Amino acid sequence: MSNYDNTTLIAASLKKRYARERRFQWYGRFAVFIGFVFLIVLLADIVSKGMPAFTQHFIKVDVTLDADRLGLPENPTQQDYFGADFGGVVKASLREMFPEVSGRGDKKQLYRLISVGAEYDLRDHLMANPELVGTTQSIWLRAHSEAGSYLKGQVSRALPEADRKVKDIQMDWLDQLRRDGRTQSRFNTVFFTAGDSREPELAGIRAALQGSFFTLMVTFLLAFPVGVMAAVYLEEFAPRNRLTDLIEININNLAAVPSIVFGLLGLAVFINFFELPRSAPLVGGMVLSLMTLPTIIITSRASIQAVSPSIREAALGVGASQLQTVLHHVLPVAMPGILTGSIIGMAQALGESAPLLMIGMVAFIMDAPSGVTDPSTVLPVQIFLWADSPERGFTEKTSAAIIVLMGFLILMNALAVFLRRRFEMK
Amino acid sequence: MMQGTENMGSMTSVAIEAETVETDSRETGESRVLQLQDQDEVRDYVTIGAPFVDNAKMAARNVNVHYGEKHAIMDVSLDIGKNEVIAMIGPSGCGKSTFLRTLNRMNDIIAGCRVDGEITLDGEDVYGRQQDTVMLRARVGMVFQKPNPFPKSIYENVAYGPRIHGLAHNKAELDEIVESSLRRASLFDEVKDNLDKPGTGLSGGQQQRLCIARAIAVSPEVILMDEPCSALDPIATARIEELIDELKEKYTIAIVTHSMQQAARVSQRTAYFHLGKLIEVGGTKDIFTRPRHQLTENYITGRFG
Ligand SMILES: Nc1ncnc2c1ncn2[C@@H]1O[C@H](COP(=O)(O)OP(=O)(O)OP(=O)(O)O)[C@@H](O)[C@H]1O
Ligand SMILES: [Mg+2]
């Protein structure tokens, strides 16, 4: 009888319980949905703004490579090529293509169709093929970034002429060139091979990428061994007393210190006191390693702590020394967690800009650094610099650089997942 | 005979007192001070039977173990004779594992655990300054209550000890040690084709036998076994008991067990623990046929525990 009563009671409460459970699930789904929408909007915005930066327009120009006009002697040396007037030749070729253009203002507009970098491309092309001197060649020259953005369809004629950099007359010329099949969109290799430049169409992330690479290398080489060693010592060997408690509290506090403070510290200690080179990946890496150290130590300690004490007992029980127990048994088990924490710390360091601004890695760098002491910049700082530039060409480059940065972050996280899987399988 | 009964009567009352101490210790600090005094009286309890032998391999004298505030082992004195198997029995939580772990200093790694008294191995002080714990644990091996294989291959589990101690001069010798250890733990036939598979992938009973193989691979002089057969089926249990019989020719074994039959089958001496105290020690046959203490009798006849 009472059993029967219980069943009806439970049945009555079941409905309510399940309803609550369903409601809770819906809240969860809604939260995930909101988060997902924000992510998609963000990604879509960045990708749609950044994608055009991966292509670049070229304009086919008939260039007369006259030795006299270039000012090239017979059998020119490299010096001669560098002194030659390629810019003048490019301008002359443009005038020949549009003979009706007259007046200084219009001519200036005409010259602005082609990138100032075109003359260097032309010079390199001729240096590689000296036999072309004296001939007339149809050569694809890099378009100016404003002309390029018109060709990419980013500028509308509907806008008042005063509000845009591409003038009506330039638009007419570009339309004509397009009709003649003299324009072409190509993959933007300069973006990956060049350093920064004043001209958007000549600017690239190579220098910043290399700077980031060197900086992260220094960070990893300093922070990973030191962090893991510190974690192992604190977890496995250090006696529990006031001092180690104090150290633990301080490490936890360090993790919460704003990164710019580390930049100030780096400026005061590494640069002003130890007189290490300014703007160098060496100092940048040292500063970032200070910043990532607490992260690495805390995550490493947590994963060492999570290793079951029975494994330690087993090792000690067969007569392993404490160091052998740690190296042979505890660390291998803790390694996936340590690596995940370290890679997340490194990813943070990769995206960090504030402390690097403090130590002068914000300089305008055209050449990729070839070592850790060369002046350089890093990706997030490059993004910061470009985001500050008013030209349309830099706006899209900002987003493109963000895409590259995010690509690397995803790559690093994938590496973390991959390493964890590999270690866990063993 | 007369004296024995008298003894027994006083002992029983002490045991009851001890039980009240247990329950009261959860109360306020003030009453705890009082009980500690009670415990000091309890501490005067003297184990009955024959805790000492002539040819002791290990000897414990007045051993007290505290886990922080908790007094887990109270004034235990016990000899473990050379080449004998001594069984330790007693109700759950009475301190069998704790006592076993003091013998090879496994308690060192437990924070807040304090061991007082004296323990010797071949006359050397186990807790002495010169004692090297690595050497001690190589000589006094242990099989833990819960199987704890390394998360490595089966081969690696067994080979690890001999390798770090440099017991094998080459790969063939190491292979030989691994195979014979696995055979003696009666695991070899089951795993011989999967020596490179992880030891953690074995069943609970297989893992325990792997841990036994791992312990005997370093040929310790004393082997401490904490309920080695609790997860094993009768066949594997019988094999382990055979192994113990065989091992005692060369080694000294202390085994904790909850099975009276097992204690009776494998051991020469039996020690009965109760609430942290060593109540009675004697020849296994004597303990099981003529227990002298009321608590021992109650336990082996199944009245509690
Ligand atoms: N690490 C520890 N910290 C605190 N108290 C402990 C610890 N280990 C054991 N104890 C306490 O010490 C007492 C003895 O424990 P022990 O493990 O030695 O019992 P046991 O006789 O082995 O029991 P079982 O038969 O259940 O294994 C118990 O009351 C237990 O609560
Ligand atoms: Mg136990």
Which of B101, B105, B107, B134 is best to mutate for the A interface (most A CBs within 10 A)?
A: B134
- For ligand 1, whether the C-beta of B92 sits within 6 Å is yes
Determine how many CB atoms are found less than 10 A away from the CB of residue A406: 16
Choosing among 3.40.50.2300, 1.10.510.10, 1.10.3720.10, 2.60.40.10, the CATH entry for A206-425 is: 1.10.3720.10
B138 touches chain A (CB under 8 A): yes
B106 touches chain A (CB under 8 A): yes
Every domain of chain B and the residues it spans: 8-300
B48 touches chain A (CB under 8 A): no
**A interface toward B at CB cutoff 8 Å?**
240, 308-321, 324, 328-329, 332-333, 426
Long-range contacts of A415-423 (CB under 8 A, 24+ apart): A415/A343, A416/A339, A416/A340, A416/A343, A416/A344, A419/A336, A419/A339, A419/A340, A419/A343, A420/A336, A420/A337, A420/A339, A420/A340, A423/A332, A423/A335, A423/A336, A423/A339
Taken in order A49, A55, A56, A60, the sign of the CA dihedral is: negative
**Among B135, B127, B72, CA closest to B103:** B127
Question: Containing H/E element for A68?
Answer: helix A67-70
The closest residue, in CA terms, to atom 3 on ligand 1 is B67
pLDDT of residue B34: 33
C-alpha separations of B138 from A2, A92, A237, B83, B167 in Å:
63, 91, 21, 17, 11
pLDDT of residue B140: 95
The nearest alpha carbon in chain B to A324 belongs to B164
Q: At what angle do helices B204-217 and B234-247 cross, to 10 degrees?
A: 10
Put simply, the answer to whether B134 touches A317 (Cβ < 8 Å) is no
Closest ligand 1 atom to Cα of B101: 18
As a residue count, chain A comes to 426
Put simply, the answer to whether B106 touches A310 (Cβ < 8 Å) is no
Put simply, the answer to whether A313 touches B137 (Cβ < 8 Å) is no
Every domain of chain A and the residues it spans: 59-185, 206-425
- For ligand 1, whether the C-beta of B97 sits within 6 Å is yes
Phi, then psi, of A61 in degrees rounded to 5: -125, 135
C-alpha separations of A368 from A44, A374, A385 in Å:
30, 9, 16
A320 contacts in B (CB within 8 Å)? 134, 160-161, 164
| Ligand 1 midpoint to CA B13 (Å) | 24
pTM for the whole structure: 0.80
Question: Containing H/E element for B169?
Answer: none
Put simply, the answer to whether B135 touches A319 (Cβ < 8 Å) is yes
Put simply, the answer to whether A319 touches B161 (Cβ < 8 Å) is yes
Question: Residue A425: pLDDT band by 50, 70, 90 thresholds?
Answer: low
Cα separation, A361 vs A208, in Å, equals 10
Amino acid (1-letter code) at residue A261 = V
The set of residues, in sequence order, having a beta carbon less than 8 Å from that of A345 and lying 6+ positions away, is: A223, A227, A292, A295, A296, A299
- For ligand 1, whether the C-beta of B296 sits within 6 Å is no
Q: Is B113 helix (H, G, I), strand (E, B) or coil?
A: strand
ipTM for the complex shown? 0.81
Cα separation, A195 vs A193, in Å, equals 7
Which of A318, A423, A424 is best to mutate for the B interface (most B CBs within 10 A)?
A: A318
| Ligand 2 midpoint to CA B145 (Å) | 6
Determine how many CB atoms are found less than 10 A away from the CB of residue A132: 14
Q: CB–CB of A357/A263 below 8 Å?
A: yes
The closest residue, in CA terms, to atom 1 on ligand 1 is B110
Cα separation, A82 vs A78, in Å, equals 6
- For ligand 1, whether the C-beta of B267 sits within 6 Å is no
The set of residues, in sequence order, having a beta carbon less than 8 Å from that of A208 and lying 6+ positions away, is: A195, A196, A365, A376, A377, A378, A379, A381, A382, A401
Cα separation, A336 vs A255, in Å, equals 21
| Ligand 2 midpoint to CA A252 (Å) | 38
Nearest ligand for residue B278 CA: 1
B217 contacts in A (CB within 8 Å)? 318
**Among A217, A200, A201, CA closest to A209:** A217
pLDDT at A128 over 50: yes
Cα separation, A414 vs A402, in Å, equals 18
A332 contacts in B (CB within 8 Å)? 151
As a residue count, chain B comes to 305
- How many Å lie between the alpha carbon of A313 and the closest alpha carbon of chain B? 7
Percent over 70 (pLDDT), chain A: 98
| Ligand 1 midpoint to CA A196 (Å) | 68
Nearest ligand for residue B99 CA: 1
The closest residue, in CA terms, to atom 29 on ligand 1 is B93
Which one of A259-268, A362-371, B22-31, B296-305 scores highest in mean pLDDT? A259-268
Provide the strand spans (E) within chain B: 48-49, 56-67, 70-81, 85-89, 113-121, 124-125, 140-143, 222-226, 252-256, 269-274, 277-283
Of residues A163 and B30, more confidence is placed in: A163
According to DSSP, residue A114 is labeled: B
Q: Place domain B8-300 in its CATH homologous superfamily.
A: P-loop containing nucleotide triphosphate hydrolases (3.40.50.300)
The closest residue, in CA terms, to atom 7 on ligand 1 is B67
In B57-168, alpha helices (H): 96-103, 133-139, 154-165
B160 contacts in A (CB within 8 Å)? 315, 318, 320, 328
Residue matched to tokens 């009671």: A9
pLDDT of residue A389: 87
pLDDT of residue B304: 58
pLDDT of residue A59: 93
For A227-248, b/e burial (b = at least 16 CB within 10 A) is bbebbbebbbeeeeeeeeeeeb
Task: Print pLDDT tens along chain B (305 aa).
Answer: 334 343 443 443 344 344 433 333 333 333 333 333 444 445 567 888 888 999 999 999 999 999 999 999 999 999 999 999 999 999 999 999 999 999 999 998 888 899 999 999 999 999 998 889 999 999 999 999 889 999 999 999 999 999 999 998 999 999 999 999 999 998 999 999 999 999 999 988 899 999 999 999 999 999 999 999 988 889 889 988 988 998 888 899 999 999 999 999 999 999 999 999 999 999 999 999 998 888 888 898 887 54
Taken in order B118, B119, B120, B125, the sign of the CA dihedral is: negative
Put simply, the answer to whether B144 touches A328 (Cβ < 8 Å) is no
Which of B98, B150, B196 is best to mutate for the A interface (most A CBs within 10 A)?
A: B150
Nearest to A324 among B146, B164, B218 (CB): B164
Cα separation, B35 vs B52, in Å, equals 30
Residue matched to tokens 């007393």: A241
Closest ligand 1 atom to Cα of B273: 21
Q: Is B24 exposed, middle or buried (0-12, 13-18, 19+ CB in 10 A)?
A: middle
pLDDT at A326 over 90: yes
Q: Is B154 helix (H, G, I), strand (E, B) or coil?
A: helix
* Residue B90 zone, left/alpha/beta (φ > 0; ψ -120 to 50; rest): left
Pocket test for ligand 1, best of B23, B96, B274 (most atoms within 8 A of CB): B96
Taken in order B197, B199, B201, B203, the sign of the CA dihedral is: positive
Q: Is B169 exposed, middle or buried (0-12, 13-18, 19+ CB in 10 A)?
A: exposed
Give me the DSSP letters along B239-299. HHHHHHHHHTTT-EEEEE-S-HHHHHHH-SEEEEEETTEEEEEEEHHHHHHS--SHHHHHH
The nearest alpha carbon in chain B to A323 belongs to B134
The set of residues, in sequence order, having a beta carbon less than 8 Å from that of B147 and lying 6+ positions away, is: B204, B207, B208, B210, B211, B231
The closest residue, in CA terms, to atom 5 on ligand 1 is B67
Taken in order A91, A95, A98, A100, the sign of the CA dihedral is: positive
Nearest ligand for residue B259 CA: 1
As a whole number, mean pLDDT of residues A303-309 equals 93
Closest ligand 1 atom to Cα of B70: 5
Pocket test for ligand 1, best of B21, B22, B98 (most atoms within 8 A of CB): B98
- How many Å lie between the alpha carbon of A236 and the closest alpha carbon of chain B? 10
